[in-house]
Chain A
Amino acid sequence: MCKCLLVLYLQFYNEQEAKKYSQNSRMIEIQTQMSERAVELLSLPEDQPCYLLDVGCGSGLSGDYLSEAGHYWVGVDISTVWFLSEVLWFLCQLELITAQAMKAGFTGGMVVDFSNSSKAKKFFLCLFAGVSGVLPKGLGSESTDRGVSNQAQFTAQRSRFRNMKGKSVKKSKDWIMEKKERRRRQGKDVRADTKYTARHRKPRF
């Protein structure tokens, strides 16, 4: 059985910041929560210690959680300290990884926790190989009845309107409509949608 889970949550620090990062209690809290959620999404067999690979383990904060959860793990990272250039490299690899994964026949998709909150939002790219993976539900999904999905299945379609993270391209009609919907949910005053909504304006406008 082989499952693969990529967690899209990145912070960039130089060496001084990295030290602060490891010791900062808030960071430790976030890392622990992320690791917990990631393990949850892996839907591992209950009460069974597993052998896990933590790619981009950094200083091992996430690994601490894995050990606590009774798992055996190997951590891999490009550096003992995260440098900006190396994380940018990682981001470039991400798109490559997803494309390759789809070609290689992985199933899966994106799970978004707390999609409505820009602060709490977390993206999890879930890839399953060799198991029929049911994509888990994102947390904070009270708004699903509004038709706002917090999942994005891999499809064969290539949409011009969504970038890697499943977000609309900024300033496009999709983006504007989503923003208006978001503001309505926040209870703000929003103009009604008409045929002129999100219409392209000339530069001098």
Chain B
Amino acid sequence: MKLLTHNMLTSHVKGVTKGYPLIIKATEVKVNELEFNAQFVSRMIPKLEWNALIQAAEWLGRSQDLPSTLIPNYENDEEFLHKVHRILLEVEVIEGCLQCPESGREFPISKGVPNMLLIEDE
């Protein structure tokens, strides 16, 4: 699971109002190199929940490089875009779980795929 995906995921447990962002508890993380595309990264940045991304990076112990708020004119900062590219698309959670911040329900991540399926009662 890439952090780009995590940024879009929310808990949909019945009755939960604040199911975002899901807390990442990773037991296995891999870094898989992916071709850098500045255009894609700079177009995706405004669509992200930046705070959630910083938090996710913190949970994975990789928040050192990233600013807590977006810098203006980030589109032209190649170094910054590279850092975002890395954390967003190259860092992958292979094993672990995502925890709903309100209900505590855990969604397992297996082989890089989070299982968000709920049982009927939930």
B83 to chain A, nearest CB (A): 18
Q: For B39, what are the chain A residues with a Cβ–Cβ distance below 8 Å?
A: 48-49
How far does the alpha carbon of A75 sit from the alpha carbon of B70 in the complex, in Å? 28
Of the candidates A49, A74, A78, the one whose C-beta lies within 8 Å of that of B37 is A49
Per DSSP, chain A at the interface is loop
The B interface, classified by DSSP as helix, strand, loop or mixed, is helix
**Chain A residue at minimum C-beta to C-beta distance from B4:** A72
Give the size range of A's interface with the partner.
Answer: under 10
Cα-based distance from A48 to B44 in the complex (angstroms) = 12
Against B, the Cβ 8 Å flags (1 = close, 0 = not) of A26-56 are 0000000000000000000000110100000
Specify which chain A residues have a CB less than 8 angstroms from the CB of B37 in the assembled complex: 49
Number of interface residues of B (CB under 8 A): 11
In the assembled complex, B119 has its CB within 8 A of some CB on chain A: no
In the complex the two chains form, is B117's CB within 8 Å of A72's CB?
A: no
Whether, in the assembled complex, B31 has its beta carbon less than 8 Å from a beta carbon of chain A, the answer is no
Task: Give, as a whole number of angstroms, the nearest-CB distance from B102 to chain A.
Answer: 22
A49: chain B residues within 8 A (beta carbon): 37, 39-40
Q: Is B89 an interface residue (CB 8 A)?
A: yes
Q: Could you say which residues of chain A place their CB within 8 Å of the CB of B89? A: 72
Once the chains are docked, how many angstroms separate the CA of A72 from the CA of B89? 9
A51–B42 alpha-carbon span in the complex (Å) = 13
Given A48-B39, A49-B37, A49-B40, answer yes or no on A74-B8 (Cβ-Cβ < 8 Å): yes
Give A49 to B8 CA distance when docked, in angstroms: 18
Complex Cα spacing A35 to B39, Å: 24
A residues near B40, Cβ cutoff 8 Å: 49, 51, 72
Report chain B residues within 8 Å CB of A48: 39
Minimal Cβ-Cβ distance residue in B for A71? B40
Say how far A79's CB is from chain B's closest CB, in angstroms: 9
Residue of A nearest to B34 (CB): A72
A74's contact among B5, B44, B47, by CB below 8 Å, is which?
B5
Closest to A75 in B: B113
Q: Which residues from chain A contact B5 at a C-beta distance below 8 Å?
A: 74
B20-37 contacts to A (CB < 8 Å): 37
- Sampled A-B contacts (10; CB under 8 Å): A48-B39, A51-B40, A51-B47, A72-B4, A72-B40, A72-B89, A74-B5, A74-B8, A78-B117, A80-B113
6 closest A-B pairs by CB: A49-B40, A74-B5, A49-B37, A51-B44, A72-B40, A48-B39
Besides the known contacts A72-B4, A72-B40, A78-B117, 7 further A-B residue pairs in the complex with CB atoms under 8 A apart = A48-B39, A49-B39, A49-B40, A51-B40, A74-B4, A74-B5, A80-B113
